[in-house]
Structures are given as C-alpha cells and as structure tokens.
Amino acid sequence: MTDKPVATARESRITRFLHVVEWLGNALPHPVTLFALFAAGVVVLSGILGFFEVSVIDPRPEGAKGRADNGLIEVVSLLNAEGLRMIILNLVRNFVEFAPLGTVLVALLGVGVAEQSGWLTALIRGMVLNAPPSLVTVIVVFSGVLSNTASEMGYVVLVPLAAVVFYSLGRHPLAGLAAAFAGVSGGYSANLLIGTVDPLLSGITEEAARLIDPAYTVDVSANWYFMVASTFLITAIGSLISLKIVEPSLGPYEGSPEDLDDEESHRMDPLTDVERRGLQNTLWATLVFAGVLVALVYPEGAVLRNQETGAVAGSPFLKGIVAIIFVYFLMVGVVYGRTVGTIRTDRDVINAMAHAMSTLGLYIALVFFAAQFVKYFGWTNLGSITAVAGANFLQGIGMTGPLLFFLFILVCAFINLMLGSASAQWAVTAPIFVPMLMLLGYAPEVIQAAYRIGDSSTNIITPMMSYFGLIMAFVAKYQPKAGVGTLIAMMLPYSVAFIVFWSIFFFTWTFVLGLPVGPSSPTYYSPAG
C-alpha cells in the first residue's frame, strides 16, 4: 500500500512550503512599520534618482492635465529643503484626505450598529440553521461570502457555527469549518451588497490612477456587477470542492470535540420568536428602504439621477453609495435592536458606533503611514516613472493583451501570502500596477477587480492572514493534534480552484463577453480621454 507514504510526502511538501511562507512573512516588519520604512525609502530614493536626473518620456498627449511642457516625467527630490517643507506642511493633509479613510469610517458606523444589535448574527444563524440538510454546504459557503459585509462576524460567528452544524448532522466538523472559511476568506471580495472593502479599495485605486490622470475618479460601486456574479461562482466552486474533495478526504469523524458546551455551541440554538420577529421587521424596513431608493433613482429626472445627463451613471446614487450603506445598516440595526431589546435608547446606538470605531485603531495607524507613502510616491513621480518603464518593458516583449491579467492575478496572489492585509497590500502595489496597466490601455476599475481575485484566493492558505490563528484554534477543538500544515492542506484545493476558475471567469466576463465590472465602469482606458 502506497497511500500513506504518498499522503505523508504531500504533507511534507506543504509543510516545507508553509515554512518558507512563514519565514518570509515573519521576516517582514509590522505593516505599519513597513509603510513608515517605505515612505522614508521613497524620500531617500527620490534624492538619489533626482541627483542623477532620471526621467522618462511622458506618454500622455500634449495638453493633457499634469503633462510637463518638455514632455518628460522627471524625478522630484524630497531630500532637500523644499522637500522637507512639503513633507511637514502636508503631513496632516495627506492623512485626512486619503480617499479610503472617510468612506470606510462612515460605512462602518452603520455596519457597527447592525452588528452590535445582533441583526447580522441572527441573519446568518437563520440562514444556516434553517437550511435543508442537503443544502447545508451550499448555504454555509454562501453565508460566508455574504458575511464579508462585516468580515469579523464571518470568522467569529459563522466558522465555528458551521463546524458545530456539521458535527450535529454526523458529518466531519472540519468539513463545515473549511466550507465556511472558504466562503468568508476565499470569497472575501465577492458579495451581493457593497461592503466596507469596496470603499477601502476604490479609494486606494483612485489615488493610484491619479498618478496618470489627476482628475480620475473610481466609484465605490466600481466592481459591483462582477462581485455579485462572483458570489454565485464562489458559492458553486466552494460547495463542489467541499463535497467532492475536502469532505471525502477527511473521512468520518471519530473524535470528540473539546469544550463543545461553550459559547460556540449556544449558537446552535434556533432563533427565538423575538429574533424571528426582529428579522421580519427588518425585512419590511428593507422593502420600504428599497421603495424609497427606487422613487429617488428610477423616474426620469429623479433626485438621485445624474442631473446633467439624466442617467444613473455618474449619479449621486452611485457616487454616494457609502451614505446609502450607512443609512441602510443603521436603519436595520435600530429596527432589529428595538424589536429584540438590544437597542433601547439613542445611547445604545451611539455606543454601537463607538465600538465599531474602536476596532479600527490599527487600521487608522496603518492608513496614516500608507497615506504618506502613496503621496510621496506621487510627488516624486517615482510611481509614474516605474509605471511608464514597466509598460514600455511589457510592450517591448509583446505582453500587452488581456492574458497579461492572469500574470497580474498570480503576482497579487503571491504577494498576499506574505502581506495578508488587503488594504496594506493594495496600498503598496496599486501605485505601481494601476498606472502601468492604465498605460497599456486598461481601466483602473478592471485592474482593481483582477487584484481582488488574487488577494482573495490565497487568504485561506497564508498564516499572515490576521484571522488564521483564530481558525487554527477552532481546528484544534476538533482535532487537537492538527498543525498549521493540516489547515493549509485542507484549504489548498479551495485556493487553487478559486484562482483558476475565478480568473477564467474574469477573462470571459471582461474580454470575451465585454461586460462592465460595475456601473459605468469602463474596461479600457485612453490617456486622451
């Protein structure tokens, strides 16, 4: 029999790969420190390259905004008196004007109320616990994808809940855990709704796009169409991998969970009558909210239409989607909370908002240094020069077609193994790749969609992902001797399937069918327009 040795060899290869990833990841400083070093490095590098008068020919047409009269993009040194004054005078402005900051904060104010009221938890419990046994896997993966509206909730609530549900059905609990983890983290960017990740990424993309086109704007809804479609794709792939590969490989569960009677087990309790009434009330509130939105958007000349063109494209509705997210989640949170008793006064609403803000301490510290780095990259013209040089190189070797995006997705997936934060990774890579691919004729919205595939697909196999340790703790509950390699081996089929089929889906959607990735999102970019 060779089954056991083969499995052992496979495990050892995975373990060796994991050790390399862990070593590389641990060799990196904390993301906040990393951005501080990047910002300082840009200043020093600008001084060196400025001394040697490094420049490239500006590919933008004459008369384009931001194009110098001599037709060159030259390095601007910050390592001098003028640069020092610029850094000091704009330190605060760089931070407060960083595009993702305000949008994420506003969106999370509403989501925080919905989460603290118990609405999101009850919604997920209702979906999973009331699902027919034959559809449990599908519902778990689907719920995982939807939980990304408030990502913490998926990890903390759904992943352990799915394990308990599978165990109660006589199935392997780790199969349920894997299916939920695949939906929450592997399908991180997919959703039916605009979530907090959308304004975060679109803001960074907009900052990067303005290195080439200073007037360019990226809507929060830039990838909405593609992400809605991706929700069903990820659900289908995740369910098939769970049912056909992961669960059969795990076999029957013969152990006994440790401490099953703790907080996680209570989440198996069915919804109470008051919780059901709360969900019903939020459903009615949602229908009323949707009706109001339709009245404000659908009729010709409606208030939230584009007042110049009369179209939905470029309208206050799309541009102000963050405000709509805030109002909606605030509304359902208050309605549900008032029904079940978790929100009684305005003080409870304010406390929920304050709690949501308190969870963003690390993010705000990260954004401060990331904002400086992005601005310095733009001021010095290093981003533009890198983009032009990279685009010229790709044109020189003939790699300019849509197939280039497959390589881009793989690069993003690899970087994600060592830099687990989506915002941190995109803040580093966007100033390089967005302008570079824009110069090759592709719109920032499409570039962002491709990035999201690479970033999401490897979340489930990197220990650098912030919730990886938490998931390991859940695994240990059911399989005490399991190591990190066990989790990696279990999640690897999902990761491979996601990156392959999601990339093919992206290519087909964008370049074969010619569909936009979001409302009024172009596929191609022309420097002249």
Considering only the C-alpha atoms of the chain, give the largest distance between any 2 of them, rounded to a whole number of Å: 75
Structure tokens at 389: 């040089």
Has residue 525 been placed in a domain?
no
Q: Count of H helices and E strands in the chain?
A: 24, 2
Rg (CA), the chain: 24
- How far apart are the C-alpha atoms of 494 and 484, rounded to whole Å? 16
Give the domain range for residue 107.
3-512
- Please say whether the dihedral angle defined by the alpha carbons of residues 64, 66, 71 and 73, taken in this order, is positive or negative: negative
Structure tokens at 474: 């859940």
At how many degrees (to 10) do helices 484-507 and 3-27 cross? 80
Has residue 526 been placed in a domain?
no
Structure tokens at 279: 């969900």
Has residue 520 been placed in a domain?
no
Our count of domains for the chain comes to 1
Nearest-10 Cα torsion for 217, 376, 359, 323: -20
- How far apart are the C-alpha atoms of 149 and 328, rounded to whole Å? 12
Looking at residue 485, its pLDDT comes to 74
Burial, 404: exposed, middle or buried (Cβ in 10 Å; 0-12, 13-18, 19+)? middle
DSSP for 462-521 reads -TTSTTHHHHHHHHHHH-TT--HHHHHHHHHHHHHHHHHHHHHHHHIIIIIS---SSTT-
Residue 363: closest CA among 187, 205, 227, 199:
199
Burial, 49: exposed, middle or buried (Cβ in 10 Å; 0-12, 13-18, 19+)? buried
431, containing H or E segment? helix 422-439
Looking at residue 529, its pLDDT comes to 46
513: Cα within 13 Å, side-chain hemisphere: 11
Has residue 517 been placed in a domain?
no
Ranges of residues in the chain whose predicted pLDDT is under 70: 1-28, 59-66, 99-100, 149-153, 257-269, 311-314, 418-423, 464, 466, 527-529
Has residue 529 been placed in a domain?
no
Question: 55 pairs with which residues across the strands?
Answer: 74
**E strands within 165-284?**
none
Q: Which are the contacts of 21, defined by CB distance < 8 A and separation ≥ 6?
A: 417, 418, 462, 463, 464
Nearest-10 Cα torsion for 25, 29, 34, 36: 180
Looking at residue 150, its pLDDT comes to 61
Looking at residue 370, its pLDDT comes to 82
Burial, 182: exposed, middle or buried (Cβ in 10 Å; 0-12, 13-18, 19+)? buried
Question: Alpha helix (H) ranges present in 380-419?
Answer: 382-396, 404-418
- Is-contact 222 185, C-beta < 8 A? no
Has residue 309 been placed in a domain?
yes
Looking at residue 497, its pLDDT comes to 94
- Is-contact 49 378, C-beta < 8 A? no
- Is-contact 312 91, C-beta < 8 A? no
Has residue 173 been placed in a domain?
yes
Looking at residue 260, its pLDDT comes to 53
CB < 8 Å & 24+ apart, contacts of 493-497? 493/241, 493/245, 493/246, 494/178, 494/182, 494/186, 494/237, 494/238, 494/241, 494/246, 494/460, 495/186, 495/457, 495/458, 495/460, 495/461, 497/237, 497/240, 497/241
